[in-house]
Amino acid sequence: MSYQAPVKDMLFNIQHLAGLETLTQQIPAFADFGLDTAAAVLDECAKLTQDVIAPLNFEGDKNPSSWKDGVVTTTPGFKEAFRAYGEGGWQGLVHPPEFGGQGAPKTIAAACNEMLQSANMSFALCPLLTDGAVEALLTAGSDEQRSVYIPKLLDGSWTGTMNLTEPQAGSDLALVRTRAEPQGDGSYKIFGTKIFITYGEHDMAENIVHLVLARVAGAPEGVKGISLFLVPKFMVNADGSLGARNDAHCVSIEHKMGIKASPTAVLQFGDHGGAIGTLIGQENRGLEYMFIMMNAARYGVGLQGIAIADRAYQKAVAYAKDRVQSRPVDGSVAGSAAIIHHPDVRRMLMTMRSLTEGCRAMASTAAAAFDAAHHHPDAEARKQNQAFYDFMVPLVKGYSTEMSLEVTSLGVQVHGGMGFIEETGAAQYYRDAKILTIYEGTTAIQANDLVGRKTSRDGGQLARGIAGQIEVTEGALAKRDSVAARAVLKALRSSREDFLAVVDFIAGSAKGNPNAAYAGSVPYLMLAGNLVAGWQLARALMAAEDALATDKEFMAAKITTARFYAEHILPRTASLRAAIVDGADSVTELSLESF
């Protein structure tokens, strides 16, 4: 089945949950990005992703990128598709017009990014990393670095990478050994090895701009002594043209479980005298700048989870409508029928849909908070939205990617034995999804951030404030008489109470008994993500009820989805609460000998 971008659902979220019209009224820079513009942008993105990029997805899995003598050749068709992506202005959609971007709200761009990731996740990783490089340069780059590099990154001529980890370091960047030697002219020579570099080498662009963490001699130990450097594959001349090949080379690419078409490179810097780089920002503040890239990428990876889940759902629905097997238990069909008639298949499909749409709604709301945090004219509004967005990032990244594993696994299950056969394509989504819970910080790293920086640091104040917003939604639901609204209200209220109990436990334990607080960090993230996604679907239900006359079939489906999520997914918070609050001792009391 070919990919169909869920444009209508995305526009529903943008209008009713993200509140695009309010953003355009409050933020002058977004005045031209109303709903009509959003619809036009999403329609054009759908055409590109459906017609040009999606057809390459299965081919990329069968015929992935290859390495030979330092040269990486991407899947046939990728180079041409990337050219179309760049020429269409999609890389610059959310970035500033002064550098060649479109200046669109993240609220709109996030929907386009989801389409791109659904169409072909391996392909879409290249633009994702380039976005991060642009964000880092916008934040900490010099005027010269911005003017030389950003326009080329935005028009697709060049791409960007993020070089953090090394063979001995993993996620512990305090162990980074790559070194930078100042040359006296403002440049540095870089020496070291970086691993897991997405699109660290490829043939789709003229140049690759590596952002590299390294230590300058005499720097403090640990993460406080890390600096960030810009190291291009080809040196850039004063007039902007490309010069000599830099001493940065790809020595291999990884052979992976999924996202096979995306070349994951091992890069060697300085084997032939030193790779030339320039400092981004100030020495010893590299990790601070790199976190700008990482936060942008973490939200983007969350979108990948939603995207791959939606692709798996679409394929499972199409298969369930086509696959004939067994007589329905209710006798509604005399003989064998399509498996979508069977109640357990419907349960699996609705689980897939409600999880996907819940996470999409959560991500859309988070994108709107990002836009307000960065562009709202009122300082207090910026501060509040930034706090909300910061809380949402580990949920969008952690919960959405864990959700994608459940959804893609169910997609294989709906296919039955055929799902285990590679030719059907269902297995590819399952394999591709696994990396999402790992890169840009594992689920545990996201959860530790949620516990430490986002909950315990302020004694749970921000988390309780979000619970207060959910309670306001409960009040609105209580005024409605529909069966669906009553069901959602009951489940939402119970899940919010579970959330508050866990917040109190974590805030009370973090200092005196940190092992207890962090033992439940991942369950806490899952509980919070479960609740926030359900909250957004509750808001969607009310909007759909109010708009039922405008598009009865679509709005009725939104109501059904919200109710299903409330009755089948939200109740999971009860067991998560018990595991966190009541089960902490069973984790903290484990000794090494227990294993």
Report, as residue numbers or ranges, the catalytic residues: 440
Can you count the helices (H) and strands (E) in the chain?
21, 12
The alpha carbon of residue 463 and the mean position of all alpha carbons in its chain are separated, in whole angstroms, by 21
Q: Which two tokens stand for residue 69?
A: 């003598």
Sign of the four-CA dihedral 439, 441, 442, 447: negative
Confirm if 500 and 464 have CB atoms less than 8 A apart: yes
Please give the C-alpha separations between residue 503 and each of 76, 266, 385, 584, in angstroms, as whole numbers.
50, 41, 20, 14
Please tell me the distance from the alpha carbon of residue 309 to that of residue 312, in angstroms, as a whole number.
5
The alpha carbon of residue 336 and the mean position of all alpha carbons in its chain are separated, in whole angstroms, by 41
Q: Which two tokens stand for residue 389?
A: 């967005």
Please tell me the distance from the alpha carbon of residue 207 to that of residue 109, in angstroms, as a whole number.
25
Confirm if 267 and 194 have CB atoms less than 8 A apart: yes
Contacts of 329-336 spanning 24+ positions with Cβ under 8 A: none
What is the residue-wise DSSP string for 267-297? EEE-TTS-EEEEE-SSTT-HHHHHHHHHHHH
* H/E run at residue 527: helix 521-546
14 DSSP assignment: I
The closest of 574, 499, 565 to 536, measured between CA atoms, is 565
The closest of 320, 542, 552 to 414, measured between CA atoms, is 320
Residues in the chain: 595
Largest alpha-carbon pair distance within the chain? 84
